Amino acid sequence: MVVTRFAPSPTGFLHIGGARTALFNWLFARHHGGKYLLRIEDTDRKRSTDEAVSAIFGGLKWLGLDWDGEAVSQFERRARHAELANQLLAEGKAYHCYCTPEELTEMREAARKAGTSWLYDGRWRDRDPADAPAGIDPVVRLKAPQEGETVIQDLIQGEVRVANDQLDDMILLRGDGTPTYMLAVVVDDHDMGITHVVRGDDHLTNAFRQYQLFQALDWEIPAFAHMPLLHGSDGAKLSKRHGALGVEAYRDMGFLPEAVNNYLLRLGWSHGDDEIISREQAIEWFDLDAVGKSAARFDMDRLTSLNAHYITQATNTDLVDLVMPVIAEKLDGNVAPEAKTRLNEGINSLKERAKTIIELAENSVFYASHRPIEITPKALKNLDEDGRDIVELMRQKLDEFGDWSEEALETGARDLAAERGYNLGQIAQPLRAALTGSTASPSLFEIMQILGRTETLARLDDALQRST
RNA sequence: GUCCCCAUCGUCUAGUGGCCUAGGACAACGGCCUCUCACGCCGUAAACGGGGGUUCGAGUCCCCCUGGGGACGCCA
C-alpha cells in the first residue's frame, strides 16, 4: 500500500509552496487508495510554535487535505531517534566527533578560500576515543561510505547520482544528545511505513544522505519524488523567508479553496489541455509521472481567473454565507435586516461579476446598506440636474406601477425612455446611482424587483433630495 | 567556490523523431453582445535560449555553451 506524508516544520504558517507539496502527497495517496499522513517536524524547539502548528492544521483543513490518523510530533519521538543513533554507534557505523562549532567554521572558511568543497573532513572518524578532549560533548556522526556513489531513482527527477566523496559524515545526534533532522526523518519515515517521500526539490541533496542512513540501518528505502520548487513571479525561490503568503492570507483575499487547489495542481502537473479539474478528477488522474521537472512561477492572474470560475460554480447559499461577514465588516455592523433575503436573490447575477469573495462583497453592499445609501463620487456625477430629472420622471412613473416584476419594470423604463426621446442607457445610469450608489451593477430591473417597491421608491427619493 | 537539477508564447503548460506552417489556458489587444459592469462569443499578437552532432527527418536523442534554480548548519 502507498503511504505518503506531509512533514512541515511549524515555524510559520502553511505557505503556498507547502500547500502544493501537501496536495501532491494527498492526491498521490488517494489515487492509489493509500494513506496520507501528517508529521510535524518540531525538533527545533527554538523555532517551533503551537500557533504555527494550528496554522498548519487550519490551512490543510481549509484546503480539504485531510490526513489519516493523528498527526505525529517528531519531537515526541526523540527517544526513539536517539536509540537508533546509539545502535549505529554500537555497531561501529557511527562515531563520536569532538569538533567544536568554531573548529567547523574554521574548516569551512579554509575550504572556501582554497576553493574546495565545504565538507567535514572526518577527522574523528577513526580516531581513538582516548584522544577526546575534556569538556566537550561530542556529536554522533554517521560513518558514511567514502567511495563509490549514491544513486537515487527519483520518480520525478529520474536517476540522480552523486559521488560519495561529495557527502560528508552527517551529524545524527547533537552535542546535547538531541536528534538532528536527518536522523529523525529517516527513523520516522521508516516507523510510519512511508513508501513514497514526495517533497520539494530543495530536499534532493538531503535524499542522498538519508539514503545512506537507511542503508546503515538496514532498512528498506522508500521511493523518492522531488518536485520542482515554486518560485515567485520574479523567478526567485518562493519561501517563507522571502515573504510568501500563508494559505489563510489567500482565504482572506477572497479566494476559494477549490480555486487554490486547482491552481496549485496545475503548477508542475498537467493532464493534456485540461485546466479546470475537479477534486474527483484530480484523484483519478493524478500520478507522479506527469509531474514536470522545471520550477514554476506563482501567477496571481491565473489564480484569480480560476477563482472567478469557482465563484460562478459555487452555490448561492454558500456564497451568501461567505459574503455576509465581509459585508458586515464593511458596514461596521450596520446591516439592513433584509440584507440576507435580498442577497439570496441577487447573488446569482452578482457572482459572475466578481473574481474574489471580497469583490463580491463590495459589489453586494448596496443590498445590505441602510438608507440613505452611500454614493460614490463617480456615481454622483450621474445625479446632476439632468440625472435627477430622469429619476424624478421614473419615480412618478413607478408610483402608479402595479406589476413590480423585473419584466414589467423594464418595459416601463423602455416606454418612458421612448416617450422622452432617451435611450435606455441614458436613463439607466442615474437610476443605478440612486439605487446602488455605483456606476456598475447587475440589471437595474432585477435590483428594483429584489429591493421591492417601498425601498426602491425611497432610494429614489433619497437621491432627489440630495443637492449636488 | 563545489555538487545537483532545470530550459517551448509575458505566465502555466501540450508535445515523448515525421500528425508541429508548434496546440490550449491566463494575461494583453481588437470586435460582437449590451441599461452600466461583468459573463459569453469571435478574432489578433505572442515561444521551441545559442552552437555543434546523430538521423532520410529534431521542439522531441547526445555533447558543449549560456541562462536560471537548488543544496552545501550541532535549521528543518
The A 295-334 residues near strand B by Cβ under 7 Å are 295-297, 299, 301-302, 304-305, 308, 312
The answer on pLDDT for A338 being more than 90 is yes
Which residues, including other chains, have CB under 8 Å from residue A46's CB and lie 6 or more apart? none
The answer on pLDDT for A46 being more than 90 is no
Residue A19 · residue A247 · CB < 8 Å:
yes
For residue A109, what pLDDT is reported? 80
Closest nucleotide (CA of A173 to C1')? B74
The A 380-409 residues near strand B by Cβ under 7 Å are none
For residue A102, what pLDDT is reported? 84
The answer on pLDDT for A426 being more than 80 is yes
> How far apart are the C-alpha atoms of A275 and A288, rounded to whole Å?
18
The reply to whether the CB atom of residue A205 sits less than 7 A from any atom in nucleic acid chain B is yes
Position with higher pLDDT, A323 vs A234: A323
- The secondary structure of A206-235 as a DSSP string is HHHHHHHHHHHHT-PPPEEEEEPPEE-TTS
The length of chain A in residues reads: 468
Rg of chain A over CA atoms, in angstroms? 32
Q: State mean pLDDT over A217-243.
A: 79
Q: Which residue has the cell 456625477?
A: A381
Q: How far is the CA of A290 from the C1' of B61 (A)?
A: 20
Other Cβ atoms closer than 10 A to A454: 8
Q: Is A326 helix (H, G, I), strand (E, B) or coil?
A: helix
Using the Cα atoms of residue A382, residue A387, residue A392 and residue A398 in order, give the sign of their dihedral: negative
For residue A69, what pLDDT is reported? 96
The answer on pLDDT for A123 being more than 90 is no
Per annotation, catalytic residue among A240, A330, A381, A397: A240
Residue A447 · residue A436 · CB < 8 Å:
yes
The A 181-200 residues near strand B by Cβ under 7 Å are 181-182, 184
Residue A4 · residue A194 · CB < 8 Å:
yes
The reply to whether the CB atom of residue A366 sits less than 7 A from any atom in nucleic acid chain B is no
- Provide long-range contacts, Cβ within 8 A and 24+ apart, for A441-445: A441/A363, A441/A366, A442/A346, A442/A349, A442/A350, A442/A353, A443/A349, A443/A406, A443/A410, A444/A413, A445/A406, A445/A407, A445/A409, A445/A410, A445/A413
Cross-strand pairs, A140: A96, A173
Q: How far is the CA of A232 from the C1' of B44 (A)?
A: 30
Position with higher pLDDT, A179 vs A401: A179
Q: What is the mean pLDDT of chain A?
A: 92
The reply to whether the CB atom of residue A440 sits less than 7 A from any atom in nucleic acid chain B is yes
The reply to whether the CB atom of residue A362 sits less than 7 A from any atom in nucleic acid chain B is no
Q: How far is the CA of A354 from the C1' of B22 (A)?
A: 35
The reply to whether the CB atom of residue A117 sits less than 7 A from any atom in nucleic acid chain B is yes
> How far apart are the C-alpha atoms of A381 and A387, rounded to whole Å?
8
The reply to whether the CB atom of residue A41 sits less than 7 A from any atom in nucleic acid chain B is yes
Residue with nearest Cα to nucleotide B11 C1':
A299
For residue A155, what pLDDT is reported? 95
The reply to whether the CB atom of residue A162 sits less than 7 A from any atom in nucleic acid chain B is yes
Q: Burial of A212 by CB count in 10 Å (0-12 exposed, 13-18 middle, 19+ buried)?
A: buried
Q: How far is the CA of A225 from the C1' of B38 (A)?
A: 43
The answer on pLDDT for A63 being more than 70 is yes
The A 75-94 residues near strand B by Cβ under 7 Å are none
Closest nucleotide (CA of A45 to C1')? B75
Residue A238 — very low, low, confident or very high, per pLDDT cuts 50/70/90? low
Closest nucleotide (CA of A291 to C1')? B13
Q: How far is the CA of A365 from the C1' of B35 (A)?
A: 20
With left for phi above 0 and alpha for psi between -120 and 50, is residue A376 left, alpha or beta? beta
8-state DSSP, A54: H
For residue A341, what pLDDT is reported? 96
The answer on pLDDT for A242 being more than 50 is no
Q: How far is the CA of A275 from the C1' of B19 (A)?
A: 24
pLDDT tens, residue by residue, A124-174? 787 777 777 778 889 999 999 988 999 999 999 999 999 998 899 999 999
The answer on pLDDT for A287 being more than 90 is yes
Residue with nearest Cα to nucleotide B70 C1':
A202
Residue A237 — very low, low, confident or very high, per pLDDT cuts 50/70/90? low
The A 263-302 residues near strand B by Cβ under 7 Å are 266-268, 270, 272-273, 275, 290, 292-297, 299, 301-302
Grid cell for residue A382? 450621474
* Strand B nucleotides where any atom sits below 7 Å of a protein CB: 1-8, 10-15, 23-27, 34-39, 68-76
Residue with nearest Cα to nucleotide B23 C1':
A273
Q: How far is the CA of A94 from the C1' of B2 (A)?
A: 25
pTM: 0.93
Grid cell for residue A100? 567544536
Give the ipTM.
0.94
> How far apart are the C-alpha atoms of A60 and A64, rounded to whole Å?
6
Q: In what order do the strands lie in the sheet with A35-40?
A: A3-6, A35-40, A72-73
Residue with nearest Cα to nucleotide B37 C1':
A440
Residue A355 appears among annotated catalytic residues: no
The closest of A90, A206, A99 to A150, measured between CA atoms, is A206
The A 10-39 residues near strand B by Cβ under 7 Å are none
Query: Which segments within A326-391 are labelled E, that is strand?
Result: none
> How far apart are the C-alpha atoms of A376 and A353, rounded to whole Å?
19
Residue A241 — very low, low, confident or very high, per pLDDT cuts 50/70/90? very low
Closest nucleotide (CA of A276 to C1')? B25
Residue A88 — very low, low, confident or very high, per pLDDT cuts 50/70/90? very high
Residue A12 — very low, low, confident or very high, per pLDDT cuts 50/70/90? confident
